Amino acid sequence: MTTPCPECTTAVPIPADAIEGELLVCDHCAVELELVSRTPLRIEVFEEEEK
């Protein structure tokens, strides 16, 4: 399954065993993405929380 990258709209493959919170990388623009939800499928640009 794939979903569009929120930065460049290139299809990002989502592994079948991916879990919510897992980090992915867009192969096209190299932005780090977080799998926010599997149902419905949603990814967002990963932003580290400041301590």
- Domain residue extents for the chain: 2-45
Residues 49, 14, 37, 8: is their CA dihedral positive or negative? positive
Beta strands in 1-51 (DSSP E): 2-4, 11-13, 23-25, 32-38, 41-45
What radius of gyration do the chain's Cα atoms show?
10
Mean pLDDT of 18-33: 97
Q: Is the pLDDT of residue 7 over 90?
A: yes
pTM for this one? Answer: 0.86
> How far apart are the C-alpha atoms of 51 and 38, rounded to whole Å?
28
Q: Is the pLDDT of residue 46 over 90?
A: yes
Q: Give me the CATH code for the 2-45 domain, please.
A: 2.20.28.160
- The one-character DSSP state at 29 is T
Strand-strand pairing, 23-25 and 41-45: unpaired
